[in-house]
Structure 1
Amino acid sequence: MPSQRTFDVIILGGGMAGAALAANLDPRTRVALVEREPVAGYHTTGRSAAMYIPSYGGAAIAGLTLASRAFFLDPPAGFGPPLLTPRPVMHIADAGRTDRLEAFAAMRGGFEVLDGRAARVRVPILRARAVAAALIEADAGDLDVARLHAAYLSRAQQAGTEVLTGAGAGAIAFQRSEWRVRTPSLDISAPILVNAAGAWADEVVIGAGLAPLGLTPLRRTVMLARAPDQAGFAAWPVVKDIDERFYFRPCGGRMLITPADETPSPPCDAAADEMDIAVGMARFEAAADHPVRHLIGRWAGLRTFAPDRAPVVGWSKSRPGFFWLAGLGGFGIQTAPAMGRLAAALVEGRPVPSDLVDHGVRVEAYAPERFRPAG
């Protein structure tokens, strides 16, 4: 059996959320970042579609997304060149749903409005019946997820964080004012336990003897196909259905396609389902004149949401020292810089950074206790 070791903070989950938190904690804090898989970021982080879309996620996410933009454009030392490469998003609607497009534009503003003909000039494979009007969201882009995650892990390790991969599933207990985590390969304890376990977040809570919050992992399917033989394809925008029934975009010289599915799933090593692939291809080919005879690649990932689809970040009131950092859905990457700083401030008992407040970030919107009955 491994000998027991003591830390100040144990973070369960080595994906983007856990890595960003670890990298933002005070270097004097003894931190263990525990990952059940052999490689940190194997599940949701490693399968992200890698986009920054300011309009995505609603009011609870907008401030975190906007507060992260400067970091992506001008990263600190150790993160390399800009992590965000501009790529607009084209939100499209057919003739029967232009009212949805108008409502979407009214909620946020700042879009360039296109008629169907202008939209098809920018993306020539679009079918006329699929796009009667479009909105261009110019301040979106592609994110270098792998570099961002690796840099957070590196920064955390340079500050003294121990990254413990391949831990597998284990037992969690609260003993004498400390949380103890035991697996076949480790036995560690700390007064603070952070639940950044992604799709496994509610399972972690149940294992710790606390009540789950109803977090739901939702499977999303992604396919890669050959690129159209069109000049300028690499600079095409993301093309996104106004009701998010599909989107497609250039990706590494190929066409990335997804039905934007949200199929409830148990926590697992998600795999693409043949029915979801068929649905995705049908939706894509109804909108785009680009026959796909075979797929170059396919995969699926789990995006985990709370019942109100806002993140769950903050202290549990059920047991001392238990901190939630979960329910980040499909926006955990594009909000990582702001979320890492926010979570670190809450864990360390510091005020919320002023720039996050200026962007409208309200910690009460993320508090886990919002799901508990009053009184």
Structure 2
Amino acid sequence: MRFVIYDFIVIGAGIAGASAAYELSEHSKVLIIEAESQSGYHSTGRSAALFTRNYGTPLVRKINALSEPFFNAPPEYFTDNPLLSPRGALTISNPGEEAKLDATLRLSTKQNPIIEMNVQTAIAMVPFLRVDRIGRAIFEAGVTDIQVAALLQSYLKGTKNRGTNIVTNEPVIALNHMNDIWTVTTGKNTYQTKTIINAAGAWADEIGALAGAFQIGLVAKRRTAIIVDAPPDCDTDGLPCIDFVSNEAYIKPEAGKLMISPGDATPIPPQDVQPDEMDVAILADWIQHETHIPIRRISHSWAGLRSFVADENPVVGYDTVVPDFVWHAGQGGFGIMMAPALARALAAICFEHKLPADFEASGIIVTDLGISRLT
């Protein structure tokens, strides 16, 4: 049998894999292999992402800033609709914990200011908050909603238009390298490529093990969320996202309702993760004590996976053990925000063995993203 030899096979069709394939396919023959029946099933499809420069590690914040031009002005024909919409973010502390907001306030910049807000103004902005549970409030007006589904589908459509093939329902079960070619075996087919892009999300270390690559120490963490009705007469369109610094919980308007998460990060093996019933019950009790939101019923509950390495920075670059195996993993809870910039970085590393000029101008070097820092 004569195989098509792809320039790149991307394993994983979430936002990391789709964006990487989009950038690579402009000049190469690319195949995306997805284990599930649909793209973005585990993390991307369960994300209600916001865009802000003021979130994550210092490196993540730099990468977020490099993604912003793409979100504000995507390439021609990439999408018919804006990728960002105004939201704003209100962060509050409980009485006695006011100092916990100092670190966030220090992230304020002239371009992305974070301001102090008195408690009365915060209550006027979000009427279902309890005045006796707010010790201090700060507000960042520049935070926006990311239209995650539109972003993912635009990347997939764009990479298909550039000639990329996408196969689904094909978990990778074996990887073998011989004579400068990788053979990728799934439960259904066999494919060949010059270079593998490991964008398998929480399963990236498992894919790495199949290749005999270095193990990056990826840890998948469960994040739980529920959807509840907003209080009567609550204008969800005008609400900001509300972050509770005391326990990292947050509330975000979502399609006329409220999405609420405890901000949990429970280590868990990679899987089709489901919400823990006890976590949901504890969250519902917390909502009723901390807010005036009536919990008459929970419309929907779910959980997603967020995957991190030890320093909580993304891993992008060539493996140090096996040849032509490129990591694109460990984006944690920042993957949607970083996707446009990281995809460009990955393509530059693959084609030119260096980072794009704007990365270098921001003081980011290849080893900041590569796996050598983890050895």
TM-score by length of 2: 0.95
Say whether 1:20 aligns with 2:19: yes
How big is the shift at 1:352?
Answer: 2.3
Instruction: Return the offset for 1:261.
Output: 0.5
1:58 counterpart letter in structure 2: T
Task: For 1:68, give the aligned amino acid.
Answer: S
2:120 alignment partner, one of 99, 117, 120 = 117
Corresponding position of 1:66: 65
| 1:92 and 2:92 are equivalent in the alignment | yes
Q: Structure 1 204/51 Cα, relative in aligned 2: closer, same or farther at 3 Å?
A: same
Matching residue's letter, 2:5: T
* 1:205 lines up with 2:205 in the alignment: no
> Is there any run of 5+ residues in structure 1 with no aligned partner, and where?
none
Whole-Å separation in 2 of the counterparts to 1:47 and 1:205? 24
> Amino acid of the residue matched to residue 23 of structure 2?
N
2:50 pairs with 1:47: no
- In structure 1, the residue matched to 2:269 is 266
Question: What is the rounded CA distance, in whole Å, between the counterparts of 1:222 and 1:120 in structure 2?
Answer: 24
Residue 309 of structure 1 deviates from its aligned partner by: 0.6
Q: Which residue of 1 aligns with 2:358?
A: 355
SS in 2 for 1:75: coil
- Aligned-pair identity (%): 34
Q: Aligned pair in 2 of structure 1 residues 312, 243: CA closer, same or farther (>3 Å)?
A: farther
TM-score by length of 1: 0.95
Number of residue pairs the alignment of both structures matches: 371
Return the match for 1:367 from 354, 366, 370.
370
Check if 1:79 corresponds to 2:45.
Answer: no
- Post-superposition Cα deviations, 1:213-240, rounded to whole Å, max 9, x if no partner, equal 1100000011000012134332110000
Q: How does 1:232-251 map to 2 (within 5 A)?
A: 232-251=235-254
Task: Provide the residue aligned with 2:290 in structure 1.
Answer: 287
What does 1:215-226 correspond to in 2, within 5 Å? 215-226=218-229
The superposition leaves residues 51-106 of structure 1 with CA deviations (integer Å, 9 ceiling, x where unpaired) of 21322212011111112122212222221221000100111111211111123212
Which residue of 258, 271, 282 maps to 1:255? 258
Q: Does 1:275 align with 2:278?
A: yes
How far apart are the structure 1 equivalents of 2:341 and 2:261?
Answer: 27
1:228 aligned residue: 231
Q: Deviations over 1:178-214 (max 9, x none)?
A: 2111113221111211110001001111111223111
Q: Distance in 1 between matches of 2:223 and 2:27?
A: 39
Give how far 1:358 is off: 3.4
User: Cα RMSD between the aligned structures?
Assistant: 1.6
Contact 1:3 1:186 in 2 (8 A): no
- Paired residues of 1:52 and 1:142 also in contact (CA < 8 A): yes
Q: Describe the SS at the equivalent of 1:46.
A: helix
- What amino acid maps onto 1:31 in structure 2? V
Are residues 1:173 and 2:172 paired? no
Where structure 2 has 5 or more consecutive residues not aligned to the other structure, the ranges are: none
> Any conservation in 2 of the 1:3–1:187 contact (CA below 8 Å)?
no
- Aligned amino acid, residue 253 of structure 2: P
Distance 1:353-1:243 versus aligned 2 partners, 3 A rule:
farther
The residue number in structure 1 matching 2:8 is 9
Q: Is residue 103 from structure 1 mapped to residue 103 from structure 2 by the alignment?
A: yes
Aligned with 2:129: secondary structure? coil
- What CA distance in whole angstroms lies between the structure 1 residues aligned with 2:60 and 2:281? 31
Q: Could you say what secondary structure the match of 1:17 adopts?
A: helix
1:152 aligned partner, one-letter code: Y
User: How far 1:243 sits from its partner (Å)?
Assistant: 4.3
Q: Distance in 2 between matches of 1:242 and 1:38?
A: 37
Counterparts of 2:193 and 2:372, CA distance in 1: 23
Residue 336 of structure 1 aligns with an amino acid whose one-letter code is A
- 1:238-266 per-position Cα deviation (integer Å, ceiling 9, x unaligned): 00012452100210000100001111111
Letter in 2 for 1:5: V
Structure 2 vs 1, CA of residues 360 and 283 (structure 1 numbering), >3 Å: closer, same or farther? farther
Question: What is the correspondence of 1:30-41 to structure 2 with a 5 Å cutoff?
Answer: 30-41=29-40
Q: CA deviation at 1:127?
A: 0.8
CA distance in 2, matches of 1:363, 1:287: 45
Q: Distance in 2 between matches of 1:276 and 1:359?
A: 40
Quote the Cα distance in structure 2 between the aligned partners of 1:360 and 1:120: 41
Counterpart code for 1:11: V
CA deviation string 1:8-59 (max 9, x = no partner): 1111111100110111125331111111111111110110112213222120
Quick one: structure 1 residues 104 and 152, their matched pair in 2 at CA, closer, same or farther if it must change by over 3 Å?
same
